[in-house]
Amino acid sequence: MMTALLISNVLLWITQIGMLLTVVALARQIGVIHERLTPVGALTMDHGPKVGDPAPSFTLSKLGGGEIRLGVATGRSQLLFFLSPTCPVCKQLLPVLRSLSQHEKASLDIVLASDGALEEHQRFYVREKLVPFPYVLSTELGITFRISKLPYAVVIGPTGLISAKGLVNNREQLESLLIAQEMGVASLQDYRAKMRDQAAADAE
């Protein structure tokens, strides 16, 4: 009886150790995969004005009063962030926009853009404490840039040319647009595709 109990305990411990080793091995593999994956850039959709084209020029009224000009050569970059009060991802990115506004204040202006009922946006503007950002409502602006999904961002360079654009669902994708502008490429996706093509060409 005691011998059977001892054998069962030994087998149980062997099973436990085997499971522990399996978990450790899986964790290492997940770590390796994570290291090999690079952050995915903003998803560029081939609609509306293209990267490198002059940005459409607009003069729009801001919530809270005053006007702002978009798509003109000002010597500063503009980041147009298209959002909606009912878009949960848009709300999650507001702290990121505040952080970018502080870190890039020397060269970047962030403009929030949407359309719809004025009252709803005014409540959203006050509730989310968006007073530091120019906030414009314009159906024409969204149509011109062919905005079909949110949140979407467009970076207009200091000379009024579109530097980068794309669908942004997280901080990495939003920041990738500014990185793409600095690198002088349409998007990080475009850059990686060119690198793959170049590597394939070199291998031939």
Q: What span, in angstroms and rounded, lies between the C-alpha atoms of 36 and 48?
A: 33
- Co-location of 90 and 1 in the same domain: no
Whether 190 and 46 have beta carbons less than 8 Å apart is answered as: no
- Co-location of 20 and 104 in the same domain: no
> Range of 69's domain?
58-193
- Co-location of 100 and 174 in the same domain: yes
Whether 202 is covered by a domain: the verdict is: no
Number of structural domains the chain divides into: 2
Whether 188 is covered by a domain: the verdict is: yes
Ramachandran quadrant class, 191 (left: phi over 0; alpha: psi -120 to 50; beta: rest): alpha
Whether 43 is covered by a domain: the verdict is: no
Question: Pick from 98, 53, 81, 78: which is nearest to 166 by CA?
Answer: 81
- Co-location of 31 and 73 in the same domain: no
**pTM surpassing 0.85?**
no
Q: Is the peptide bond before 95 cis (omega within 30 degrees of 0)?
A: no
The predicted-structure confidence for 25-81, as pLDDT tens digits, reads as follows 666 665 444 343 344 556 565 678 999 999 999 999 999 999 999 999 989 999 999
- Co-location of 91 and 16 in the same domain: no
pLDDT category, 158, cuts 50, 70, 90? very high
- Co-location of 30 and 86 in the same domain: no
- Co-location of 117 and 81 in the same domain: yes
